[in-house]
Chain A
Amino acid sequence: MRMTYIRNGGTLALDPVKCNGCGRCVEVCPHAVLEMADRKARISDRGACMECGACANNCETGAIKVTAGVGCAAAVIQGVIKGTGPQCGCGGSSEPSCCC
């Protein structure tokens, strides 16, 4: 089942001129947001994009840009309280407090 969330994929941008067609972004996307067409990557399902950043992180030509972050309300709240911006509490020195 395809589940989507609010504001999904808002910051995902792909520059077809820079794209060298390696297909890595399609390989790493967990939600099939991207597909190959005419030896170039193409955004085919923006609404399913959770902005994890895997595609941009593995794009060797810098053709993909996305503002990656954590889709976690607890992290957002913690960031507001501490004034640091969204921060996942897990894996730190103290007890984990959220998702993972």
Chain B
Amino acid sequence: MQPVKVVSTRLSLGDILGGWGVRWNIRRGRYRVEPGLYAVGAPTADSPVLVTANYKLTFDKLRSGLTGVDAWILVLDTRGVNVWCAAGKGTFGTRELERRLLATRLDQVVSHRRLVLPQLGATGVSAPQIFKDTGWRVVFGPVRARDIPAFLGAGMRKDASMRRVRFNLLDRMTVAPVELVQAWPFLLGAAAASLLLALPFGTGYGTRLLRFSVSLIGAVLAGTLAAPALLPVVPFRAFSLKGAVIGAAWGVVASVAFRASVAGSLAFVLVGASVAAFLGMSFTGATTFTCQAGAELEVRRGTLPMIVSLALGVVLLSAWRVLGI
């Protein structure tokens, strides 16, 4: 039997910094804990078993929500991916759970045969199948780790609010920085375009550079930060259209602020709309309520208009600078 590691319910500075880092995409793919059996508090043979993923951010969220609880934690090997995404991929799944039950010899550690799984693991783990194969009963606990003490205190019962996935402003802005970091090619492109558009060198180059940078980088921020923030209040349900609305609005603001010509204004609107549409559409993957059929529809219908709009915008920007129209 593998030794059981006792872990604290208090996060260290390193845990907090590490968690902050992965929110900015730093070491995100390698932020893992060893799969296996852990303990919080002083669990006995009667204590509950909580099952989770081996993404360290997930593991830390779980244990930090368990202050005052004595429990076993069974960590599955999800290759460093969170519960919900891993469940969708099947790594937080029936087979891995069954493997891990055997590997840790959990039946010799506890006297009961009940496992508490995070509700979002239900996409990958089939409770009826687990029972049929192993005799272990699966109880799907709350969505959020912080509700676990209340859930356990109520005899493993959850109310409707513990079942619901929310995606409020704070949730959205917590996941948005990864989108910004992953949009680095767009930031690089905006910077390079600004350096070129501000030419020729000499009088006013610095001012022009600043104006183009603000306008174009602003379009990237419109798609990566403003679109997630304003998600519920912007019209349309397709994320690309939401992004396009915000990006176009930013284009108008930039045009007015920098007194762009008619061609220049049109260019800012087209570039802003197309860039923010694409980046807004990319945010579908970070959300809690999008389905695949919808994402496919957006990609199928949206790609060509985005490319055409961006190309037209670039042509107009060039014409504005070179021909002075």
Residues on A facing B (Cβ under 8 Å): 1, 3-11, 24, 27-32, 48-55, 57-60, 67-77, 80, 86, 88, 90-92, 95-100
B163 contacts A69, C-beta separation under 8 Å: no
> Can you list 8 residue pairs at the A/B interface with Cβ under 8 Å?
A5-B294, A27-B163, A60-B128, A73-B284, A76-B296, A86-B295, A90-B89, A99-B175
Query: Is B165's CB under 8 angstroms from A30's CB?
Result: yes
| Pair A69/B85 contact, Cβ less than 8 Å | no
Expressed in whole angstroms, the minimum distance between the Cβ of A71 and any Cβ of chain B is: 3
In the bound complex, how far is the Cα of B128 from the Cα of A59, in angstroms?
8
| A-B CB pair tally, cutoff 8 Å | 170
**B120 within 8 Å of A by Cβ?**
yes
**What's the minimum C-beta distance from B261 to chain A, rounded to whole angstroms?**
34
Residues of B within 8 A of A67 (CB): 292-293
- A-contacting residues, B152-172, CB 8 Å: 158, 160, 163-165, 167-168
Given the complex of chains A and B, what is the CA–CA distance between A30 and B126 in angstroms? Answer: 16
Q: Give every chain B residue within 8 A of A28 (Cβ-Cβ).
A: 119, 122, 140
CB closest residue in chain A, given B86: A91
A38 to B287, CA, bound (A): 33
| Pick from B140, B143, B289: contact of A4, CB under 8 Å | B289
Query: Once the chains bind, are A70 and B88 in contact (CB under 8 Å)?
Result: yes
Chain B 258-295 interface residues, beta-carbon cutoff 8 Å to A: 281-282, 284-295
- With contacts A9-B291, A48-B289, A57-B122 known, is A90 near B237, CB below 8 A? no
| Range for the number of chain B residues in contact with chain A | 35 or more
Instruction: Kindly list chain B residues whose C-beta atoms are within 8 Å of the C-beta of A71.
Output: 284-285, 287, 289-292, 294-295
Whether A96 contacts B291 by the Cβ 8 Å rule is no
**Quick check: A75 and B164 within 8 Å, CB to CB?**
no
Q: Is B174 an interface residue (CB 8 A)?
A: no
Are A8 and B294 in contact, with the CB atoms below 8 A?
yes
Q: Is the CB of B168 within 8 A of A75?
A: no
Known contacts A90-B85, A100-B82; A32/B294 CB under 8 A: no
> Does chain A have a CB within 8 A of B200?
no
CA distance A49 to B290 in the complex (A): 8
Q: Given the complex of chains A and B, what is the CA–CA distance between A83 and B323 in angstroms?
A: 43
Cβ B285 vs Cβ A72 within 8 A: yes
Assess the B299–A80 pair: CB atoms within 8 A: yes
Q: CA separation between A29 and B119, bound complex, in Å? A: 8
Asked if A75 and B295 sit within 8 Å, CB to CB, the answer is yes
Q: How far is the CB of A96 from chain B (nearest CB, A)?
A: 4
B28 interface residue, CB < 8 Å from A? yes
Say whether B79 faces chain A, with CB atoms less than 8 Å apart. yes
C-alpha gap A98/B297 in the complex (Å): 19
The 8 Å CB contact of A57, one of B85, B123, B237, is: B123
Question: Per a CB cutoff under 8 Å, which of A51, A91, A97 touches B91?
Answer: A91
Chain A residues within 8 Å of B98, by CB? none
B292 touches A69 (CB 8 A): yes
Let me know if B85 and A74 touch, CB within 8 A.
Answer: no
Give the Cβ gap from B292 to chain A, nearest Cβ, in Å. 3
Residues of B within 8 A of A91 (CB): 29, 78-81, 85-86, 89, 91
State which residues 68-97 of B face A: CB under 8 Å. Answer: 78-82, 84-89, 91
Residues of B contacting A55 with CB < 8 Å?
A: 122
Q: Which residues of A contact B223 (CB under 8 A)?
A: none
The minimal Cβ–Cβ distance linking A34 to chain B, given in whole angstroms, is 11
B164 to chain A, nearest CB (A): 6
